[in-house]
Amino acid sequence: MNRLEKTLPRPKSTTIYGYLLPGTLIYVFIVLIPLGLSIYFSFFKWSGGLSKAFIGLRNYGDLIQDAKFWFSFRNNMIITVLSIIGQLGIAFVLAVILQAKWVRFREFHRTVLFLPVVLPAVVVGFIWNLIFSQDYGILNGLLRSLHLSSWIRPWLDDPHIVIYSVTVPIVWQWVGLYLIIFMAAIQSIPSDIYEGAEIDGATGFRKVIFITLPLMMDTLKVAVMLCIAGNMKIFDNIYVMTGGGPGMSSTVMAQYAYRTSFNQFKLGYGSAISIGMIVLSLTLILLSRRLMGGRTVER
Amino acid sequence: MNARTVVTGGKLLANLLLAAFSVFCVFPILWVLYSSLKNQAAFSRNIVSLPSSLHFENYSKAFWDGELYRYLGNSAFVAAVSVVLTIAIGFVTGYFLSRFSFRGRNALYAMFLFGMLVPTYGLLVPLFIEYRNLHLLDSRLSLVLPEVTFALPLVIFLIESFMKSIPTEMEEAAYMDGASLTSSLFRIVFPMCRPILSTCVIISFLNIWNEFPFALILINTQELKTVPVGLTNFVGQYTVDYPQLMAGINVSILPVIVVYLLLYKRIIQGMVAGAVKG
């Protein structure tokens, strides 16, 4: 950085700021001002019309006692925990297998496993709606043909299982991303470490546990953070799959904020929910960063 | 059973596991693809069998009667304008962030990083209010600024780290020849960044094409809706006709699938670099 400056003539500050202005302005307009507005509106009881009553912190008092909000946060947490186990676990196992010399069709697997990542979450939701469908879904069809009819469930209509049902597509969609991240990390492990271990008699499974896993710790931490950040803002799939229902059973925070603001027109309270959601997400991200020790790697 | 058979068995098992998971990933997509060519009667007779006769009319019906052509056009317009702006702004911002130090640089950098971490869905309500107060809702350009904003951080970081890897000699030489900052920026640096810029174009395109919640709240007029939101309308209309529904789904993801199959190496690389950065 400093080396570069010595040789490149530095333009006038006004020029630099001039070039940086468009990006900054757009950002201020779309992120910072709305954020400020959100805080401002959260102090009001407001249904979107002309009358707006200042109520101080009462929205936040309500929010803290709002069982529905905490229930939707709980749903975010269930999805996050299952995703960390499911996405990262599956991705890790597949990444280890894919790195082995004897694996066939590596390129094919990589391409196919990553494909769901680029699909719109809305479409992933619709596809899984079809899979879970009561009469015409593949899942129930499969169970029927395996003579497991007793396992057939109304996957998206049973309030006790729906939160797990909506998690499956989320895991399905994102395994590929973590797979590729893990594969890159495994590739960067120098091969002589493995060779040394082989001389000492280490076999496949032990090499994974004692070499691959420890050397991938930094990447795993980044992956956990990404997973938390991603699942705190989950919305699209669930919106199209269940709309948060039946009842509240699959409602997540973003869905709750949406419903409160746009279906019930409580814009003041909706703003407070939004702020609560941002605070909770950032806290969890920073907390996970802290708990896993130190700063994450920059690549 | 000796050690060798155990190892071979393990390898076979691992290959099978991998194959099973790949099938699990791709089969739902294929199922939707081929079932879309059946009619409802054939589909309800057997949900997994291949179609015995091909009903391409599902597609023309989805495209015209289901008005997907309109949504595709709107999405293409929003994506084109937003991608151009994202690249222009992202390139310039990334360039200055990586090449020069100036007062406020770190703050600016942190601001864009924050943009990658903050749950953007928390902005749904306030952005809607802001847009409504400024009468910006429901226009052909309503979605451009939010899409640019959410696509920008990734582009800035990809450009910024790419710039670090290319030496300054070319720019210096341009200055020697009397070139201005602007002409060195767009005549020398921009062409050198072409590989990373094309990655940026593809990934921003995918993200913008797929974006749902902001398109849902900022656009109300049927004629202006983009593909993901339009698709929810379409699905609402044809809930009983599964193959018809599937045809609609396929039309809406066709551009994404084509782009992916042509450019998957770039996409995978860029998305992973961006994700790890965030």
Mean pLDDT of A234-253: 89
- The CATH number linked to B215 is 1.10.3720.10
In contact, B167 and B228? CB cutoff 8 Å:
no
Quote the pLDDT of residue A294.
52
B123 contacts A38? CB cut-off 8 A: yes
pTM more than 0.90: no
Domains and CATH numbers, chain A: 11-54 (no CATH), 60-291 (1.10.3720.10)
Cβ within 8 Å, pair A9-B253: no
Report which residue type is found at B202: I
Answer whether A187's CB lies under 8 Å from A179's CB.
Answer: no
Q: Which tokens is A135 given?
A: 């009469």
Segment A233-242 mean pLDDT: 90
Whether residue B34 is contained in a domain is answered as no
Among B7, B26, B275, select the one facing A115 at the smallest CB separation: B26
Which of chain A's residues have a Cβ under 8 Å away from the Cβ of B129? Answer: 34, 37, 41, 267, 271
Task: Flag whether B201 is in a domain.
Answer: yes
- Residue pair A22/B89 in contact (Cβ under 8 Å)? The answer is yes
Query: Which three-class secondary structure state does DSSP give residue B1?
Result: coil
- How many domains does chain B contain in total? 1
Collect all residues with Cβ–Cβ distance below 8 Å to A270 and sequence separation of at least 6.
Answer: A257, A260, A261, A262, B125
Q: Considering chain B, what percentage of its residues have pLDDT values greater than 70?
A: 98
Q: What is the pLDDT of residue B95?
A: 93
What's the pLDDT at A148? 79
- Out of B44, B210, B277, the one facing A120 most closely (by C-beta) is B210
pLDDT tens across B199-245, in order? 899 999 999 999 999 999 999 988 999 999 999 988 888 877 888 88
pLDDT of A192-224, one tens digit each?
877 777 777 777 777 778 788 888 888 888 888
B33 within some domain: no
Residue B115 resides in a domain: yes
CA-nearest residue of chain A to B254?
A: A119
Q: Classify each residue of B158-194 as buried b or exposed e, where b means 16 or more C-beta atoms within 10 Å of its C-beta.
A: bbbbbbeeeebeebeebbeeeeebeebbeebbbeebe
Q: Is A53 helix (H, G, I), strand (E, B) or coil?
A: strand
Mutate to test the interface with A, among B6, B97, B105, B121 (most CBs of A within 10 A): B121
CA distance A138 to B25: 14
On whether residue B46 sits in a domain, the answer given is no
A278: burial class by Cβ within 10 Å (0-12, 13-18, 19+)?
A: buried
Indicate the pLDDT class of residue B277, thresholds 50, 70 and 90: low
Mean pLDDT, range A110-124, rounded to an integer: 92
pLDDT of residue A173: 94
Mutate to test the interface with B, among A1, A25, A27 (most CBs of B within 10 A): A27
Tell me whether residues B125 and A233 touch, CB distance under 8 A.
no
Span A123-181, pLDDT tens digits: 999 999 989 988 788 888 888 888 777 777 888 888 889 999 999 999 999 999 999 99
* Pairwise CB contact (< 8 Å): A31 & B272: no
Q: At A286, which amino acid appears?
A: L
User: In terms of residue numbers, what domain contains B117?
Assistant: 57-277
- Whether residue B231 lies inside any domain: the answer is yes
B43 part of a folded domain: no
Distance CA A214, CA A124 (A): 34
What's the complex ipTM? 0.89
Question: Which segment of A191-200, A249-258, B257-266 scores lowest on mean pLDDT?
Answer: A191-200
Query: Are the C-beta atoms of B89 and B148 separated by less than 8 Å?
Result: yes
Find out whether the peptide bond into A159 is cis, omega within 30 degrees of 0. Answer: no
**B48 vs A17, A23, A138: nearest CB:** A138
Q: Which chain B residues are closer than 8 Å to A138 by Cβ?
A: 28, 31, 47-48
Mean pLDDT of chain A: 86
* Alpha-carbon dihedral sign for residues A190, A196, A199, A200: negative
Concatenate the DSSP letters of all residues of B152-204 into one string.
Answer: HHHHHHHHHHHHHHS-SHHHHHHHHTT--HHHIIIIIIHHHTHHHHHHHHHHH
pLDDT in tens, B130-165: 999 899 998 889 999 999 999 999 899 889 888 988
Nearest to B114 by CA among A267, A24, A294: A24
Of A177, A164, A201, residue with least CA distance to A95? A177
In a domain, B68, yes or no: yes
